[in-house]
Structure 1
Amino acid sequence: MNRILVPYDFSEVAHHALNFASDIAQKLSGTKITVFNVIEQPGPETFKTMGVTNPDPMENLYIKKMIDTVEAKMNDLMSDPTYKSIDLSYKIVLGNPFKELAQEIDTEKIELVVMGTSGASGAEEFFVGSNAERMVRYAKCPVITLNGPASTDGINDIVMASNFQEVPKGFVDKVKALQQVFGAKLRLVKINTPASFTSTRHDRKQMEAFIEEFGIQNCTYESYNYSNEEDGVIAYAEDISADMIAIGTRQRRGIGHFLAGSIAEDVVNHAKRPVWTYGLEEEE
């Protein structure tokens, strides 16, 4: 997690995300945080990063004023003494928010995105609503989303929900690294629904085998009955007063059998605690 990206639109929830990322950076030496703002283009895709190509004169002036405004705000943010002890920088780009963030993750080898699930509106609107959902589904690195203030010092119990079948090692390694950063207990849970029900005995053996296979430590495990998976994950986290939820996205097998696509997005949209998601390549 040494390269963290924080999508930033100067909203309150974006500020909470930056503070949470800063807490992580203080726990991990050598961590760099980039605060990332996208100015959406008002017209065709003729603009480049921090510049324009053959623009309409009025559009050129409009974009320049927006860049100047955002840059001034960014400079104020960089001078905030709250962040004096971390390696903090910013980047302003022009373009489509989702595409620009995806490219930044890829080209800069970002290891973690920390972002709010709601934000500003109007000209400064950034990764909110459907854009946040798309990042959760498609990001090639872990994403932590939060909708309010949160402190890393309060992350003591992390719920990891799965069906514990053919779980990719890469996902488990990421979860174990997350657990280590916070020094948290991992609370493994399988959500049993009427449409996909297994016995407590079956679930216990399955989870014990999972724990042994991957060398999971400092953990608990149990099955939890609910009408559907996404609400079950949230309800379980609330029942045990968990501090974070960790789920995988997009796989067609294993954890992705039920924790994929819209299910992960639903958890992100409705959970009252930070949610960590990681999307692996889809398996045939």
Structure 2
Amino acid sequence: MKRILVPYDFSKVSEHALDFACQIADKADSDIMLLNVIEHPTADSFKTLGMQNIDPMEQLYIKKMYETVQAKLANVVSAAKYSDDRIKTKIQLGNPFNTIIDQITEEKVSLMVVGTEGAEGLSEFFAGSNAEKIVRKASCPVITIQDKCELEPIEKIVFASDFQHSDDHFVGQMLDLQRTFNAQLNIVKINTPASFTSTRHDTKQMEEFVKKHSIDNCTIEIYNYKNEEDGIILYAEDIKADMIALGTHQRKGVGHFLAGSIAEDVVNHAKIPVWTAHLNDD
């Protein structure tokens, strides 16, 4: 992965995202694009930057906001823990979601690391449905992270699917992730009452999947639960996994076996980092 994009709004979760991205960059020899998006100004957004009683319609103050953000980003980059020539900053004015998605192509981004539940700068942009939209629409893999996370303890990655289809590009990206972290891949099928299949059937599918893609350092398991999203999270908790990996469809935002918005539900509720990447919609 050559370039990692980190949307940054000066919230605690975006600090966690930058910290984790820096660890990945050191391991994968990547550079980081630290992106702040200034929304069309409102009184609240000026207050976030420490400026009071300013008419947001005045272009002069948009310029001042830009300069303020620029100085704050410079302080972030120059901080001891982030001091590295590999980190570049970029400030854009516009709609945060659209701008972030556009920057993936413009900056040739290989991976995005996004903090969730942010509440500064981007007007709670990283909370709830907006995090889901990023996962659904981003053309590169995305890691969502809620809490501070250290890279070195990542030893187990859960990958859940129904294994009915096989997207070689997606699997290649997931195996790159596994190699980057030198982690064990814990491959699981969540068996639910609504989509029950036999252990023999599921085991055969997963064994064929492992063989086809020459996957090493992995386990396969069937986990029974009433629904997929909770099953994924609970299985990850049971085996003390350090990350969850899921495929998403760009149109639906769901994995191969996932109905509704289960991939996004996992992103919103998992306490460990969640890696998502697009599956072929064909």
User: Which amino acid letter does the alignment assign opposite residue 116 of structure 2?
Assistant: T
| Cα distance between partner residues in 2 of 1:4 and 1:101 | 12
Contact 2:223/2:231, CA 8 A, preserved across alignment: yes
Contact 2:156/2:241, CA 8 A, preserved across alignment: yes
State the partner residue of 1:114: 113
State the partner residue of 1:50: none
TM-score (norm: length of structure 2): 0.90
Percent identity reads 59
State the partner residue of 1:51: none
Q: Deviation per CA, 1:85-110, whole angstroms, max 9, x where unpaired?
A: 45001100000011101110011110
State the partner residue of 2:48: none
| Aligned counterparts, 1:219-234, within 5 A | 219-234=218-233
State the partner residue of 1:250: 249
User: Which amino acid letter does the alignment assign opposite residue 137 of structure 2?
Assistant: Y
How much does 1:126 deviate?
3.9
Secondary structure, aligned partner of 1:144:
strand
How much does 1:281 deviate?
4.3
How much does 1:260 deviate?
6.3
State the partner residue of 1:52: none
| Cα distance between partner residues in 2 of 1:240 and 1:187 | 9
Change over 3 Å in CA distance of 1:63–1:281 after alignment to 2? farther
Residue 214 (structure 2) pairs with residue 215 (structure 1): yes
How much does 1:179 deviate?
0.2
Residue 170 (structure 2) pairs with residue 177 (structure 1): no
Change over 3 Å in CA distance of 1:224–1:144 after alignment to 2? same
Secondary structure, aligned partner of 1:181:
helix
State the partner residue of 1:26: 26
TM-score (norm: length of structure 1): 0.89
How much does 1:81 deviate?
2.0
| Cα distance between partner residues in 1 of 2:33 and 2:269 | 27
State the partner residue of 2:96: 97
How much does 1:7 deviate?
0.5
Secondary structure, aligned partner of 2:240:
coil
Contact 1:248/1:260, CA 8 A, preserved across alignment: no
Secondary structure, aligned partner of 1:127:
coil
Contact 2:255/2:279, CA 8 A, preserved across alignment: no
Change over 3 Å in CA distance of 1:197–1:86 after alignment to 2? farther
| Cα distance between partner residues in 2 of 1:251 and 1:110 | 17
Contact 2:38/2:121, CA 8 A, preserved across alignment: no
Contact 1:247/1:259, CA 8 A, preserved across alignment: no
State the partner residue of 2:133: 134
Q: Structure 1: give runs of 5+ residues left out of the alignment.
A: 44-55
Secondary structure, aligned partner of 1:256:
coil
How much does 1:129 deviate?
2.7
State the partner residue of 1:49: none
Change over 3 Å in CA distance of 1:201–1:117 after alignment to 2? same
| Cα distance between partner residues in 2 of 1:204 and 1:188 | 11
User: Which amino acid letter does the alignment assign opposite residue 10 of structure 2?
Assistant: F
Question: Aligned residue pairs: how many?
Answer: 269
